[in-house]
């Protein structure tokens, strides 16, 4: 108890929640603290990557070989998530499925309108 309470208070769990609410609420605070820690770690890693690239571009240009191509700092931010590159076939299949979904939706609306007009005429 002497060790658990200070750790939970440090995570942001209010004293009243610790003593009065159920343990599920405490688990929510623990998960929130874990997510915040992971987010901080990811941001720190990305900052380190930017620092590495900045130093590499400056020092690589200063101390590199005379005819070597200068190392440039990236012109756009680093991608945060890896994006899967679709092959031409996968891209075509994806576009076809999207087109098929839109046309079937459009056709079903047309059929509904046609049936509605027919029903109103009768």
* Confidence at residue 30, expressed as pLDDT on a 0 to 100 scale: 86
* Confidence at residue 116, expressed as pLDDT on a 0 to 100 scale: 66
Question: Would you say 40 and 55 are in contact if contact means Cβ atoms under 8 Å apart?
Answer: no
Distance of CA 52 to the CA centre of its chain: 23
pLDDT tens string 87-107: 778 878 888 888 888 777 777
* Confidence at residue 111, expressed as pLDDT on a 0 to 100 scale: 67
Higher pLDDT, 3 or 117: 3
**What is the arithmetic mean of pLDDT over 75-94?**
76
> What does DSSP assign to residue 87?
P
User: Nearest to residue 13, comparing CAs of 38, 1, 36, 30?
Assistant: 30
For the chain, the C-alpha Rg in angstroms (whole number) is 29
């Amino acid at each position: 108890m002497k060790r658990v309470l200070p750790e939970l208070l440090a995570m942001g769990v209010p004293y009243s929640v610790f003593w009065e609410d159920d343990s599920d609420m405490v688990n929510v605070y623990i998960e929130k603290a874990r997510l915040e820690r992971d987010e901080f770690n990811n941001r720190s890693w990305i900052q380190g990557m930017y620092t590495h690239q900045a130093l590499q571009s400056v020092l690589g240009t200063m101390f590199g070989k005379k005819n070597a191509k200068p190392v440039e700092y990236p012109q756009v931010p680093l991608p945060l998530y890896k994006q899967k590159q679709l092959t031409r076939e996968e891209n075509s299949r994806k576009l076809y499925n999207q087109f098929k979904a839109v046309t079937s939706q459009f056709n079903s609306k047309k059929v509904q309108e046609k049936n509605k007009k027919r029903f109103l005429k009768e």
